[in-house]
Structure 1
Amino acid sequence: MEANVYAKDCAGRQVLDRIGDTWSVLIVCSLADGALRYTELAQRIAGVSPKMLTQTLRALERDGLVTRTVHAVVPPRVDYELTVLGRSLLGLVGGLLDWAETHITDVVEARDAYDSRDLP
């Protein structure tokens, strides 16, 4: 299958949508050091709703990037962990995270300059 992410119906575009999504990036980076429970992910990623966290984890699992392990204990325990495929994303999404943290001041300054312009 040839990928052309510029084509409307390309499966590659769906993959870009998944790995470029804010919650996906934060989940993948959160799992870089190993498995986490759902509640640990929810606490680490401020602002993600339970619905979005669940949907994103399911989508990442469906795409083969995350595994979900249910432990038969009371109360039930569920761990999420990156697969080998998911780990292959760490350099890319980690780079995005680093870039955002490094350049936030530049972006804020650019926004302020843009917003203060007098437009006709």
Structure 2
Amino acid sequence: MQKTEAIDALAALGQETRLDVFRLLVQAGPQGLPAGEVAARLGVVQNTASAHLKVLSQSGMIRAEREGRIIRYTADMTGFRDLLAFLLEDCCNGNPDLCRPAIEAATCHC
């Protein structure tokens, strides 16, 4: 990931509703959610949700897939992993034990 891509991703996640959308889609897993359900679960109007989904999609944090008239969104875990890798690149000046708590916190304990 390049610096400009990381900045776009962080800016997309740096807004309250978009962060809520991303976390909701992470919780939904690989099946994702239709745009209307995202809006309903977060209590936002459809066009506002669509605007936030577009920003997240353009930043590489989520993916959209059309299913007829419905657009289903999923968290792009590859994009998120790339962001984490960018942030932790050259972590701890060669002492990986200092980074281990951050890595463990980001690891799914499902």
TM range (shorter): 0.5 to 0.7
Q: 1:17 and 1:29, CA in 2 relative to 1: closer, same or farther beyond 3 A?
A: same
CA distance in 2, matches of 1:77, 1:55: 16
Q: 1:81 and 1:14, CA in 2 relative to 1: closer, same or farther beyond 3 A?
A: closer
The residue aligned with 1:66 is 62
SS in structure 1 of the partner of residue 50 of structure 2? helix
List gaps (5 residues or longer) in structure 1: 4-9, 90-94, 96-120
CA distance in 1, matches of 2:10, 2:78: 14
Q: 1:19 and 1:59, CA in 2 relative to 1: closer, same or farther beyond 3 A?
A: same
Identity among equivalent pairs (%) = 19
Q: What RMSD, in angstroms, separates the aligned Cα atoms of the two structures?
A: 2.9
TM-score (norm 1): 0.54
TM-score (norm 2): 0.58
Q: 1:12 and 1:54, CA in 2 relative to 1: closer, same or farther beyond 3 A?
A: same
SS in structure 1 of the partner of residue 64 of structure 2? strand
List gaps (5 residues or longer) in structure 2: 84-104, 106-110
- Higher radius of gyration, 1 or 2: 1
Q: Name the structure, 1 or 2, with higher relative contact order (CA <8 Å, separation 6+).
A: 2
